Amino acid sequence: MGFLQGDTNNIILDAVLTDTGRQFLSKNDGSFSVVKFSLSDDEVDYSIIQKYGRTVGQEKIEKNTPVFEALTNQAFAQKYRCVSVSNPNLIYLPNLTLLGNNVSNNILSIGNTTQKTRTVTVSQNISNVSSIDIELRDQSFIVEVNNLFLQVLGTAPDNIDNNLRATYILTRDSGQTAQGGSTLTLNVGTKSITDTQFQIYGASNNKSLITTFIKVSGIQSGAVLEFQVNISSTL
């Protein structure tokens, strides 16, 4: 994946169908149907504004930010989406945090024998503000897991792509945080992982440990939480 040529006055858009888009087109059943769009800014480092100020910082972002080519893997093509909120005066935005008994430093530990399930909670949090703007309270979340190793218990994935990435669209819990934020309780379970898979996918220095990631995105807030999951063959 290279960079796009950005030294011209014209802005060129480089567009590709994703793997999923091609898959849906090939089905020839009308499943390829674009109904909405989203904007994202994955390459942009907004801390430049803090460092250089709004005037110079904006110019540096605009002129000195190389942009990668379009990716065909839908899991990585749009990571950080831009968000529409009708209130233009927001100073603070919520983020997502991970809570759970087996979570340490945002890493979830899970086993493949007796401890095959874990329950974690993803919670919307905000600092310095008494309540989260109502438009930013997530009503549902998109959860993406590696379908080879993990599953969200109690529900079926909405889609499994060619890269074995399972996507679940889950509704928030009924309760809320003190600031009005949403929470999502996730029951994560390991699939039946064989010893051979541990040999193939295990860490090079520890073949009893597989590392994978879970991505949770709030549909309303756009906030993204990606956390590591360590699957141990001995637990």
Partner 1 sequence: MAVFKEFSAEDVKTNKSYLNQLVDILGSDISGSSTRKQYQVFVTGGLGPGVTSSLFQTVFDQDFTLQTANAIFDTTFGLHTGSEVVTYLNPTIDSNGKYLFPANSLMMREKMDIYRLFAQNLLGDSNAMFTAISGSTSYNIKEAMFICFKRLFSRDQVKRETFAIRYYASGASLGAGQQNLAKASSNGSFILTDINSSVNKEYEVGGQVSTVVDSANIANPLGLLFLDKGILVLDISRSFDQAGPISGAIDCVTNTAGIVTNFTGTLKNLMSSGSMDEFLDHVCSTRFTGSDETSITFQNITNINSTLFFCRAGADEFNYSSNPTFTDENNRITVIDPGQEETQRTFTFVTSIGLYDSTDNLLAVAKMSRPVKKDDERDVTFKVRLDFVRKNNKRKIIFRNR
Which residues 20-59 are close enough to bind partner 1 by CB under 8 A? 20-22, 24-25, 31-47, 49-50, 53-54, 58
| 127 contributes a contact to partner 1 by CB under 8 A | yes
Q: What does the per-residue mask of binding to partner 1 show for 59-78, with x meaning CB under 8 A?
A: --xxx-x-xxxxxx-x--xx
157-161, long-range: CB < 8 A, 24+ apart: 159/20, 161/19, 161/20, 161/23, 161/74, 161/75
* Piece of 108-116, 119-127, 207-215, 227-235 that binds partner 1 (CB under 8 A): 119-127
* Other Cβ atoms within 10 Å of 84 Cβ, number: 10
| 152 contributes a contact to partner 1 by CB under 8 A | no
Cα–Cα distance, 102 to 106 (Å, whole number)? 10
Least distance in angstroms from the C-beta of 99 to partner 1: 17
Residue 220: exposure state from Cβ atoms within 10 A (0-12, 13-18, ≥19): buried
| 220 contributes a contact to partner 1 by CB under 8 A | yes
Cα–Cα distance, 26 to 210 (Å, whole number)? 34
* Piece of 124-132, 148-156, 170-178, 184-192 that binds partner 1 (CB under 8 A): 124-132
Q: What does the per-residue mask of binding to partner 1 show for 164-203, with x meaning CB under 8 A?
A: ---x-x----------------------------------
| 163 contributes a contact to partner 1 by CB under 8 A | no
Cα–Cα distance, 174 to 188 (Å, whole number)? 19
User: What's the chain's length in residues?
Assistant: 235
